[in-house]
Structure 1
Amino acid sequence: MATDRHLIDARGLKCPLPVLKLEKRIEQLSAGDELELLATDAMARIDIPLYCRQKGHECAVSQDGDVLRFVVRRG
């Protein structure tokens, strides 16, 4: 099943802004939709997966240089 992809560019933003942007945007999505978030704040590596676990969303993390890439599937 194909899912819609959405992008949040949170590069340069500090905690808690990446998580707040994710929270606001993911509420607009349907279950199973995917959202991609890019961040450079090291705290996002902790904050975003924790938020996803608490809310029942899947989260995959990768890193390219100083950019963290989160792919979140709404639960």
Structure 2
Amino acid sequence: MTDVSVDHPFDQQLDARELACPLPLLKAKQAISGMQVGQVLWLLATDAGSQRDIRRYAELSGHILEASETFDGEFHYWLRKSGD
């Protein structure tokens, strides 16, 4: 895995690699619910469906998808918890 965390600061990391849909999304929801407003979750996933799921979750929840990148077949997301 490439060390990409330096480019994107984060407060908590969630490794959801090798988990099938919808588990990356469900685990991200659980992680964000325990975080403080303004904190960033770095989510790593290998399920291609996470690309659609995480973007849609950010739209519906009001959380901010600060970045989304793909490295060697892994999907990386940085979600900032909003105050909504």
TM-score bucket of the superposed structures, by smaller chain: over 0.9
Consecutive aligned runs of 4 or more in structure 1 exceeding 2 Å deviation: none
Q: How far off is 1:33 after superposition?
A: 0.3
Stretches of structure 2 that go unaligned for 5 or more consecutive residues are 1-8
Distance 1:32 1:11, change over 3 A: same
Q: TM-score, normalised by structure 1?
A: 0.92
Cα shift readout 1:50-74 (whole Å, capped 9, x = no counterpart):
0111000111200101000000000
Q: CA RMSD in A?
A: 1.2
Give the percent of matched residue pairs that are identical in Structure 1 and Structure 2.
36
TM-superposition CA deviations, 1:17-75 (whole Å, max 9, x none): 00000011100111100000000000000001101110001112001010000000001
Q: Give the total of aligned pairs.
A: 73
| Structure 1 unaligned blocks of 5 or more | none
